[in-house]
Amino acid sequence: MSRSAHPAGPRHADVLTEGHYSAPPADLNALDPKVWAHTVGRDADGAVTVGGLPVTRLAEEYGTPAYILDESDFRERARAWRTAFGADADVFYAGKAFLSRAVVRWLHEEGLNLDVCSGGELATALSAGMPAERIAFHGNNKSPEEIERAVAAGVGRIVLDSFQEIVRVAHTAQALGKRQRVQIRITVGVEAHTHEFIATAHEDQKFGIPLAGGQAAEAVRRALQLDGIELIGIHSHIGSQIFDMSGFEVAAHRVVGLLKDIRDEHGVELPEIDLGGGLGIAYTSDDDPREPHEIAKALTEIVTRECESARLRTPRISVEPGRAIVGPTAFTLYEVGTVKPLDGLRTYVSVDGGMSDNIRTALYDAEYSVALVSRTSDAEPMLARVVGKHCESGDIVVKDAFLPGDLAPGDLIAVPATGAYCRSMASNYNHVLRPPVVAVRDGEARVIVRRETEEDLLRLDVG
C-alpha cells in the first residue's frame, strides 16, 4: 500500500482507531532467524552479537545510528542464488538495493553479475573492478552521457526502456564503432505485490514498453533493423516484495508469446529472457519468503513449459534479486534518546536516526520489527512506536512494535532487514549525517561506507 497524503495529516486518527496489532511475542528477547542476519545471536551478558561481535562494542566504536551488515550472510545468500540458478542462467544483483565497492567485490568473487541504473552506480561498479561485460545498465531515462559511458565501458547489456532509447543507444554505439548488446524491457500487464498480482492488458507505469497494442513488437522490429545494437532478449520486471510465483507465471507466458511472435515474423529466436527481481524477504515474523532454490526451480519450470508449448528453444534465463540478497543481511543499530508514554495509546520511542536512514515506512507504509539489543529484559511488553529525530510527524521507523516496558534512554535497539533500500535511499533531511555501513565477519568489523561528517555537508554548500 502506498500513500500519497502528507503523513502528518489524517493518519493521526489511526492511532485511536486502528487497534489491530498482533499480540506481543511470547519472548521479547527472542530473535527470529527469519528476520535477522545469519550470525546474529546473544552473548552470555544478553547483548546481541553479529559476526561474533557484541553490538555494544560496535556502538562504542562506530557510533549510532549505524547499519551493521553481516558479510558472511551476504556472501551465503549471493552464493545460494548463484548455485540455485546454475550455469545455464545469470543472476544480476540489483545494485539500487545497496551498492558499495566492498559489495561489488563480494559479488564479483561469488560469481554474480550486477545491475546498475545510473552513472553513479556504474562508476562504483567499475571502480571496484566488476568486469563491464557482467554489468547490465537499466533506467527509464538514461542520459546521453550515461549511455555513452556504458557503451564505451563495454557493459554486457543495456536494457532499453523506450522508443527514443532504442535509437539513442544504437547511434551512440555506432558512433563509437561498437555493436551494443541490448534487451528490451516490456510491460506485460502483471503487477505483483506480496501475495497477489493483478493481470491486465495495460500497465499504468513509467517503465518499459507495453506489450499491449503491439508496441513491444514494434520496438523489436525497430531494434532488429539498427546496426549499432544487437537484440539479445526481452526483459520483464513485475514488482517487489513478491512471495507468490503466479505473477511470474503470467508474465513468462506473455513474454514467451512475444518471443514466438518474433520468431514467426522475423525468423529469429532471441536467446535470453530476464524475469527481473522483486522476490520478497521477511521483515516481520509474519512473512514467509521462499528459498532461492525453490524460486529457481519454479521459474525454470515455468519458462521451459511455456517454451515447449510454443515450440521455442528455451532461452537463457536471468533474474535480478536485490532485496532478497542484501535485505536480511543488515540491521540498523540505534540508541534510544527519549521514551514517551501516551496514556491509553502507546509509547513513543525516539531514536537517533529516522526517516533519513529508513524512508520506507514513511514512503510505503513498510513494516519492520525491532528488538532491544544491548541487554535482555524480563519486563512486560509495551506497545511502542519507534520514531526518528526529524521535524516531521510522519518520521516513523517502526509503526507498531512491542518493546520491553523498562526500555530507557541509552538502550540500544535494532531494526532488522534494513540492508535493502535504506542506506541507498538515505537522505540528509534536517542536515542529519548519513550513517556508516559497518561490515562484520568472523569477529572483525570494518567500515565499508563511512559516516558522513559536517565537513561533507559543508563542502557541498559553497556559500
Ligand X SMILES: *Cc1c(COP(=O)(O)O)cnc(C)c1O
Q: Compare residues 317 and 412 and give the one whose CB is closer to ligand X.
A: 317
Q: Does 95 bind ligand X (CB under 6 A)?
A: no
Q: Which of 156, 210, 228, 277 binds ligand X (CB under 6 A)?
A: 277
- Contact pick of 94, 184, 245, 433 for ligand X (by CB under 6 A): 94
Per CB under 6 A, the list member of 323, 346, 389, 423 interacting with ligand X is 323
Q: Using CB under 6 A, which of 7, 54, 228, 321 touches ligand X?
A: 321
The annotation status of 392 as a binding-site residue, yes or no, is yes
Residues 6+ apart with CB under 8 A from 4: none
- Minimum CB distance to ligand X, residue 46 (Å): 34
The response to whether 321 counts as a known ligand-binding position is yes
Question: How far is Cα 334 from Cα 357, in angstroms, rounded to an integer?
Answer: 11
Catalogue the E-assigned strands of 29-102.
41-42, 48-50, 53-54, 66-70, 89-94
Q: Which is nearer to ligand X, 242 or 372 (CB)?
A: 242
Among residues 237, 254, 423, 434, the one that binds ligand X under rule CB under 6 A: 237
Rounded to an integer, what is the distance from CA 228 to the centroid of its chain? 32
| Distance of alpha carbon 192 from alpha carbon 199, whole angstroms | 8
Q: How far is the CB of 237 from ligand X (least distance, A)?
A: 4
**Closest approach of Cβ 290 to ligand X, in Å?**
13
Among 96, 142, 360, 434, binds ligand X (CB under 6 A): 96
Per the CB < 8 A criterion, the answer to whether 366 and 323 are in contact is no
Look up residue 461 and give its three cell numbers: 554548500
Q: Is 381 annotated as a binding residue?
A: no
Choose between 319 and 351: whose C-beta lies nearer to ligand X.
319
Q: How many CB atoms lie within 10 A of CB 209?
A: 22
240 binds ligand X (CB under 6 A): yes
Identity of the residue, 368 or 402, whose beta carbon is nearer to ligand X in the bound complex: 368
Give residue 249's region: left, alpha or beta (phi > 0; psi -120 to 50): alpha
302 vs 254: CA distance, rounded Å:
12
Burial 126-162 (b: 16+ CB within 10 A, else e): bebebebebbbbbbeebeeebbbbbbebebbbbbbbb
The distance of closest approach from Cβ of residue 236 to ligand X in the complex, given in angstroms and rounded to an integer, is: 9
Q: Which residues contact 116 (CB under 8 A, 6 or more apart)?
A: 95, 99, 122, 124, 125, 135, 136, 137, 138
Stretch that binds ligand X, among 12-20, 54-62, 92-100, 429-437 (CB under 6 A): 92-100
Asked whether position 418 contacts ligand X by CB under 6 A, the answer is no
Question: Residue 307 catalytic?
Answer: no
Rounded CA gap, 304 and 298, in Å? 10
Q: How many residues bind ligand X (CB under 6 A)?
A: 17
Residues 117-146 binding ligand X (CB under 6 A) are 138
Q: Is the peptide bond before 328 cis (omega within 30 degrees of 0)?
A: no
> What part of residues 342-401 is at the interface with ligand X (CB under 6 A)?
none
Cβ closest to ligand X, residue 72 vs residue 194: 194
User: Would you say 126 and 105 are in contact if contact means Cβ atoms under 8 Å apart?
Assistant: no
276 binds ligand X (CB under 6 A): yes
Smallest distance from ligand X to CB 30, Å: 27
Binding flag, residue 322, ligand X (CB under 6 A)? yes
How far apart are alpha carbons 300 and 158 in whole angstroms? 23
323 marked as binding residue: yes
> Would strands 272-274 and 135-137 be described as parallel, antiparallel, or unpaired?
unpaired
Has 121 been labeled as part of a binding site? no
Q: Which residue has the cell 534487451?
A: 183
**Of 278 and 292, CB closest to ligand X:** 278
97 in contact with ligand X (CB under 6 A): yes
User: Binding site for substrate: what residues are annotated?
Assistant: 323, 360, 364, 392, 421
User: Binding site for pyridoxal 5'-phosphate: what residues are annotated?
Assistant: 278, 320-323, 421
Q: Give the catalytic positions in this structure.
A: 391
Residues making contact with ligand X (CB under 6 A): 94, 96-97, 115, 138, 237, 240, 276-279, 320-324, 420
